A and B are shown apart, each in its own frame.
Chain A
């Protein structure tokens, strides 16, 4: 393989991994606080459609991004009200959120299917983007990809180095003890869920405004679910989320790579790759039940209410 091809593959890998990275970072924070939100797919789709409609109507991509984030947070708020404050089953609520988000986004997006939009273009940083192999991948991306780098750094720093990160972890590991220490468990969980919603909305906007600037029903194609598997893959550690997101990005573009190499496999079969990869990864990582239990936040998926 020549260098150009590898450089192109790396570039596409980061582009494809970015939405996964964004959602998975959001879900990681959410799960660290002990809340399992299976509604990522729904929030992402809602963000994607709102971002597209706003950008299309106003001509401002950034306004689209901003409102997509708000859209993700609105759905996350609904989830938090029912799952965090009303103690409903988190799995059922997450499923409901996804079903609701899929329905809502297709409903309001009907009139916008197939409309053309000029999305975020790439912005190459002079000199740095000329570095062989890595230059294109890291320094010739669009602005939202750069934003995802920054968000990764911020989330990593907050989780590992700050008091906020500790609070989050305390609430997720042992909410009763955290509450006894005077931490507002439910508020922390609410904020974590909202952050997850914001990230999912942003990831949706990345899809509909940068990755493929258009709106199509179910355009997330299961990325919200893959992101959930990613968090398990990462054993709830932030650096591994980054690694995993790009590995999955690579798995998703493998069909392009193979086509580039002249291997002909029907595209529908190749499109299965990311999903098969997800299962394989889950199998490899979950085989050891003890390991999963060691890394997962202890109270993950369990509602908590004050005074109990």
Chain B
């Protein structure tokens, strides 16, 4: 038996939508096999991972809380990825956003005016934007590869965060724990429903979703970004200013990642801690691809990713499985997706031995 790929000649719209679903199914199957190999009942484990976390209303609100930072980061990444600007730095941009927001919030603990929250958010968003702007500057001014610079900036941001948590921002009354003081009430995002942790940050996320949708689907800027991604030379010939697009795409994605970071510290966490992000910025890369760089697709993908995070915690608590399960599933999902995406442009042909014989016969006659 021989498998071969045959070009379709055009994109298959059906596969464009089916491929993420196929990748999801393959991930589930591989996961079930893995659990079986580890001696856990596969179906029960998948149930714990994917259904149990959202079996009540509280779980659903937790899902929204988790999806929020991932969604914000992924929306920004999608914009950059569309222009083929490989911003891998959402994690670092999120961390500096959280850091700057916290630094301001710590100064305003006793302030009771709601303006405190505005200042905290302004600081966080500005920091995220600046962090991405740094990568844009390095890219446009010095031609430095943005993949490598944004990755390096992630590690620098992480060390910067740790320096501040263990140093200047450490809570003097915190018994030496590496964490900042709790923010004042005025710097916290209001809770939407009593008894849950769901906060008004979800509105920011929905707003960002609509804004990015309009930007990429309906604006000239979005069109320019798309052309730049498809064909750099063409973009240059029609006179689009590449450098400006790079700056804008990176700064928008930095702003959104910074917003995600500051939402985390002023929302569910309420203070700055070293584990402010369990890799949301990296998860957002998977989410952006899984959602086809389309804002609506990304919404669904981020909910799925949030579910994996919640499920990972659930599986750790109830089944004693390592928390890293989330990362593993995330990696499998992205890998399967890329493999399945081949089917968008190619058709899979299975050649069986007798078929080949059939083709060969007329040739033999002719000879």
Contacts and interface: CB of A to CB of B under 8 A. Distances in A.
Interface in B315-367: 322-332, 334-335, 337-339, 341-342
A228 B146 CA distance: 12
B47 interface: no
A96 B151 CA distance: 15
Contact of B326 (A88, A97, A103): A103
A100 B335 contact: yes
Interface string B130-141: 000000001000
B44 to A, nearest CB: 19
B138 A78 contact: no
Nearest to A277: B152
B40 interface: no
A87 B342 contact: yes
A202 interface: no
Contacts of A266: 163, 166-167
Contact of B286 (A99, A222, A276): A99
B115 interface: no
B338 A286 contact: no
Contact of B325 (A87, A107, A278, A279): A107
A271 interface: yes
Interface residues of B, number: 44
A191 B231 CA distance: 31
Interface string A272-308: 1001101100110011110010000000000000000
B155 A279 contact: no
A92 B159 contact: no
Contact of A222 (B145, B151, B322): B151
Given A82-B338, A89-B338, A275-B155, A96 B331 contact: yes
B327 A102 contact: yes
B147 to A, nearest CB: 7
A93 interface: yes
Contact of B142 (A86, A91, A269, A286): A286
Contacts of B145: 229, 232, 282, 286
Given A99-B331, A107-B324, A283 B159 contact: no
Contacts of A86: 5, 339, 342
Contact of A287 (B143, B147, B289): B143
Contact of B155 (A109, A110, A222): A222
B61 interface: no
B85 to A, nearest CB: 11
Contacts of A104: 327-328, 331
A103 B148 contact: no
Contacts of B289: 92
Interface residues of A, number: 50
A275 B342 contact: no
B67 interface: no
Contacts of A288: 143
B285 A99 contact: yes
Nearest to B81: A92
Given A99-B330, A100-B332, A286-B143, A107 B322 contact: yes
Contacts of A228: 148
Interface centre among B282, B286, B322 (most CB of A within 10 A): B322
B156 A99 contact: no
A272 B327 contact: no
B143 A268 contact: no
A82 B156 contact: no
B86 interface: yes
A110 B322 contact: yes
A4 B8 CA distance: 67
Contact of B335 (A78, A109, A282): A78
A86 B166 CA distance: 47
A150 to B, nearest CB: 29
Nearest to B322: A110
Interface in A71-101: 78, 81-82, 86-89, 91-93, 95-97, 99-101
Contacts of A82: 335, 338-339, 342
A1 interface: no
A173 interface: no
A228 B149 CA distance: 11
Contacts of A292: 143
A293 to B, nearest CB: 10
A268 B282 CA distance: 22
Given A272-B159, A283-B138, A286-B143, A96 B152 contact: no
Contacts of A87: 342
Nearest to A96: B334
A157 to B, nearest CB: 29
Given A225-B148, A286-B145, A101 B322 contact: no
Contacts of B322: 106-107, 110-111
Nearest to A113: B322
A142 interface: no
Contacts of B5: 86
A221 interface: yes
A106 B152 contact: no
Given A89-B338, A93-B338, A103-B326, 19 more contacts: A38-B147, A78-B335, A92-B338, A97-B335, A100-B335, A102-B331, A103-B329, A104-B327, A104-B331, A107-B322, A107-B324, A110-B323, A228-B148, A268-B160, A268-B166, A275-B159, A276-B156, A282-B144, A286-B144
3 shortest interchain CB distances as A-B pairs: A100-B331, A103-B327, A106-B324
29 contacts: A82-B335, A86-B339, A88-B338, A92-B289, A93-B335, A95-B285, A96-B331, A96-B337, A100-B335, A101-B331, A103-B324, A103-B326, A103-B327, A103-B330, A106-B322, A106-B327, A107-B325, A110-B322, A110-B324, A225-B148, A225-B152, A269-B160, A272-B155, A275-B153, A275-B156, A278-B152, A279-B152, A282-B138, A286-B142
